[in-house]
């Protein structure tokens, strides 16, 4: 499992609307935001390729998301 802390940049004033949509996306957990255009989130996926694909899907699937910018990336040790 790969996890990444990300900043989701939205169009001005869209953070609350985007957050409401993102809570429904598997692998995405909203941690907070500035109330205007930035959200802090943790995203997770099985591997790096799936994590990258999830980030791209978020940007391409929502016209109010301008970018998904990682702040940290880590992995859980295999059992």
Domain CATH for 56: 3.30.70.920
State the residue range of the domain holding 37.
2-75
Q: Report d(CA 63, CA 79) in Å as an integer.
A: 39
Nearest to 36 by CA among 58, 7, 57: 7
In whole angstroms, what separates CA 3 from the centre of its chain? 10
Q: Tens digit of pLDDT for each residue in 8-43?
A: 999 999 999 999 999 999 999 999 999 899 999 999
Query: Count of domains in the chain?
Result: 1
The pTM for the full model equals 0.90
Tell me how far the alpha carbon of residue 18 is from its chain's centroid: 10
């Amino acid at each position: 499992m790969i996890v990444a802390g990300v900043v989701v940049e939205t169009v001005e004033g869209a953070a609350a609307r985007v957050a409401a949509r993102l809570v429904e996306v598997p692998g995405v957990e909203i941690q907070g935001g500035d109330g205007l255009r930035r959200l802090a989130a943790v995203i997770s996926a099985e591997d790096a390729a799936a994590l990258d694909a999830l980030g791209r899907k978020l940007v391409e699937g929502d016209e109010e998301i301008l970018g998904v910018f990682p702040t940290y990336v880590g992995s859980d040790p295999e059992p």
